[in-house]
Chain A
Amino acid sequence: MKLHTRIEEQAFEIDIHCSTSRNESERRFRISVKHPDGKLEETEVELLCRTGERWTLLKDQQVFDLMVRTDDEDRVIVEWHNAGCEIDIFNPRDRLLPEGSDASFDAPTVIKTQMPGRVIRVLKKSGDSVRKGEGLLIVEAMKMQNEIKSPRDGTIVQCALREGDDVAAGQVLAEIE
């Protein structure tokens, strides 16, 4: 899985593969980290043990006894020896999927982006009825076009965006009732 991360204002790209299945007792990961300067670092890590927020990783026979948690914005906070750092981490594809994909509730569902991008096409406008899985708009971010699909059946009550509009992270794309 390819992931984008940001730590102390620097962007890193990560490619992570689980070497063993999650059901097995050994959890090994092959991870390559691409630094902002293009340098590539490849390592293998084993997650020895996880008790709540406390994780023990083994990397090149070095033990890393860390506290790992997420904050309200899904940032990962890693602490070691009482010093910590916040890491923004996301899958560029996931960030374009609407939130609340399990929606089937009566209240309006708000669809937001988590990444900045540009609206390429608007497929539905206010008042249109949509079926679950139908495309609403296409947003381009990080050079990838993604179709935003409706998470539920309903009617679009709000979709103020036009083609060519820039959207910020967290901006509302549409509201479905």
Chain B
Amino acid sequence: MFKKVLIANRGEIAVRVIRTCRDMGLKTVAVFSEADRESLHVRLADEAYCIGPAPSLESYLNVERVIDAAIRSGADAIHPGYGFLAENAAFARACSEAQITFVGPPPDIIEMMGSKLASRKAAQHAGVPIVPGSTIPAKPDKSALQEAERLGYPLLVKASAGGGGKGMRVVGSAPDLSAALEAAQNEAQSSFGDATVYLEGFISRPRHIEIQILVGADGEAIHLGERECSIQRRYQKLVEESPSPAVDASLRARMAEAALELCRAVGYRNAGTIEFLVDEGGNFYFLEMNTRLQVEHPVTELVTGIDIVREQILIASGAKTSVRQSDVQTNGHALECRIYAEDPYQGFLPSPGTISTLFEPSGPGVRNDSGVYQGATIPVHYDPLISKLCAWGSSRTEAIARMRRALREYQIGGVRTSIPFFDQLLHHPEFVAGNLHTRFIEEHSLQESRSATCIPGFPVTPLMAAAIEYVMRPRKKPATKQQSRWRDAYRPFLRI
């Protein structure tokens, strides 16, 4: 087993990984950019190394500096978390060259799954149904038009190296195809340095359902059931749950078998997630494979009782998974809301700043994987995720009730957050009924703020609070010249 693990990440996921390392008695090494000097993950680690300036490219994405910190600290393993270098095959290779274990699958598999075209081919070879479409690059000529006719409109143009909706276009009819191809190619080139695009059939109102798998160092593959992540905004997941309200035992068994088949076929190792789209008829199609820890892994941990990060570290050290398939039992239902520092009522505009007030929820069935503390700053340079709020219940109904309670308890001052949006969503009858699909938020126009008229005694109660705030507000007092200068230096908006 390792002695010291470097966590090549920041924020809540770095904190999450540090915690499991602690549980396992492993020393932890944090890396941080100059913008993260005061971050929680640094404060929780045993050792910490500054790896460069705030921009990710010069710090968290800089392979050399991360490896250098690992060598200097004497770490024998690197956990990449998610994002940043987690699916970077060159980084995984650099780790092995430095004789440090990369906690994840072999570099070749990362590379293959990083290409949508290659992974679709691999899935097809393994007998896993893929989203209808091509497995070869689309060329802006007649062949693309013919392929499009075969698939039927509407269809999608997708970047092979893509993700998160970048390099993707919906095409409604043949005349729009060539323009969409060109636009997607340009976007793919600038975002991923690879202009390869392909055509994919359009599935209307699909559910996004994924299978969590673990493959031990011995090659034994097990699955931990599914997660449904249909609540998305611009292809970014916002709410995840396990199990899916749309998956019965038979569908689960078929999806899991397909996922395991793919893992065996490509010789996968460590934790991974196979994402599927499920159409309204209950047919599932391979979408992509994520060769890392998922953001939403806690919902699976809550229903299975298995620490996925611990399994990752065990497997990376050469062990089998700590449980066999027959030991995996799921219990109850879990939900996760991704709490971001953004204003849900201004188009989810990021709201970086300092967290001036913080009350985190707790109590029965509540888990909050947070990366902040009161007084911490959400930097402008990175994803503005504050925490992942999870609720577990013996049923979906109980999990929803607990999530609603936790969302009311969660009080964050100083930045706007997506909490009010989730509060609304968790009360939406269609959400409660489990009628989810990836266009849920757009179709149910959940981007209007809830009226304050639900405050009891409205409008007198808020008026009273405002009046008390007004009389208690510190008044501007005459100051001497020097004090005035001093204050101006710190409060640039004090004077016009």
Contact = CB atoms under 8 A, between A and B. Distances in A.
A122 interface: no
B495 A81 contact: no
A59 B461 CA distance: 9
B464 interface: yes
Contacts of B424: 82
Given A102-B477, A112-B496, A69 B423 contact: no
Nearest to A53: B413
A100 B491 CA distance: 13
A45 B459 contact: no
B484 A104 contact: yes
A69 B420 contact: no
A161 interface: no
Interface in A37-89: 41, 43, 45, 47, 51-55, 57, 59, 62, 64, 66-70, 72, 76, 78-85, 87, 89
Given A7-B462, A53-B413, A78-B466, A83 B452 contact: yes
B484 A41 contact: no
B459 A89 contact: no
A143 interface: no
A21 interface: no
B253 interface: no
B416 to A, nearest CB: 10
Given A31-B464, A54-B411, A59-B461, A85 B452 contact: yes
Contact of A87 (B414, B451, B463, B473): B463
Given A69-B413, A83-B452, A22 B461 contact: no
Chain A contact residues: helix, strand, loop or mixed = strand
Contacts of A1: 471
A157 B374 CA distance: 46
Which size bracket describes the interface of A in this complex?
Answer: 35 or more
Interface in B381-428: 407-408, 411, 413-414, 419-420, 423-424
B449 interface: yes
Given A54-B359, A103-B495, A105-B481, A85 B462 contact: yes
B452 to A, nearest CB: 3
Closest 7 interchain pairs by CB? Answer: A52-B357, A85-B452, A53-B413, A76-B466, A82-B423, A78-B462, A83-B450
Interface of B: 356-357, 359, 374, 407-408, 411, 413-414, 419-420, 423-424, 449-452, 454-473, 476-481, 484-485, 488, 493-496
Given A3-B467, A8-B459, A100-B476, 8 more contacts: A5-B466, A31-B468, A68-B465, A78-B452, A81-B455, A82-B408, A104-B480, A109-B495
